[in-house]
Amino acid sequence: MGLKPTCKEIHRLTSESLDRELTLIERVRMRLHLLVCHACQNFGAQMELIRHAMRKLTVPDDAGKGHGSQ
C-alpha cells in the first residue's frame, strides 16, 4: 500500500465498502484520491446507482415456484 492509492485500489475499496465499514485510513485515502480522480468519482457514482436500483428491485410473490404448481 503506497502513499497514493491507485485507481485499482480505490475500485476495490469502493466495492468492499458495500459489505463492510472501511477503516479511517481507508476512508481518508479514498477521499483524497476522489478529490483528483474523475474516473473513480464516476465509478463510485455508478456503484451507488446500481446499489439503489437493486434495493428497489422487487421479487414477485410467486417467484421460485414452478409453472402449474399449487
64 part of a folded domain: no
pLDDT > 60? residue 69: no
Please report the pLDDT score of residue 65 as a whole number: 63
Domain limits for position 23: 7-54
67 part of a folded domain: no
43 part of a folded domain: yes
Please report the pLDDT score of residue 61 as a whole number: 72
Read off the pTM: 0.69
Please report the pLDDT score of residue 43 as a whole number: 95
How far is 2 from 18, CA to CA, in rounded Å? 23
Q: What digits encode the pLDDT tens for the residues 8-67?
A: 999 999 999 988 999 999 999 999 999 999 999 999 999 999 988 888 887 777 665 655
* Number of helical H runs and strand E runs in the chain: 3, 0
How many domains is the chain built from?
Answer: 1
